[in-house]
Amino acid sequence: MLKDNIAPNVESNYSVLLKNNSRKHGHLGCELLDYYYEALEIKIKRTGYYSFISNADFQPSTYLYEHYFNPHNILENLLFVHEYYCTKQRFHMTAYLHYNITYILIVTSAIDIKNAQGRVSVIINGPDKINMKLIGNY
């Protein structure tokens, strides 16, 4: 039995494929549009801490945005960045997310890997199941 102040840990999974017809963007401090990306819309049912973990065919980077993602100004609404450093084919980040707010998770390759293609699986653990969906062009 769970204590009242301890939330259950629920896992949600999603997979994206970066390919030659994926959209492109530039990383922080890089104006060249040399990085494929996919955008996942995230809606949660319960406020709390959510842990994001991935497995990928290459070194991934992720950006977490609140409300929307502006590919022409990647600093706008930016909450969290996980750039590849020494994590091989994984990223891990934890964020406190609020109910009734839309979040956008941008999944892309590390800054030193231009035009990378392959699969990235995203696993999110938190106090409740979340809704994730791939979203189209901006």
Distances in Å between the alpha carbon of 12 and those of 15, 39, 132? 11, 16, 8
**Single-letter residue type at 137:** N
The span from the CA of 70 to the CA of 77, in Å, is 8
pLDDT, tens digit, 9 for 90 and up, residues 75-125: 899 987 765 545 455 667 889 999 999 999 988 876 667 777 888 888 899
Please name the fold of domain 10-135. Jelly Rolls (2.60.120)
Say if pTM beats, i.e. exceeds, 0.85. no
**Single-letter residue type at 30:** C
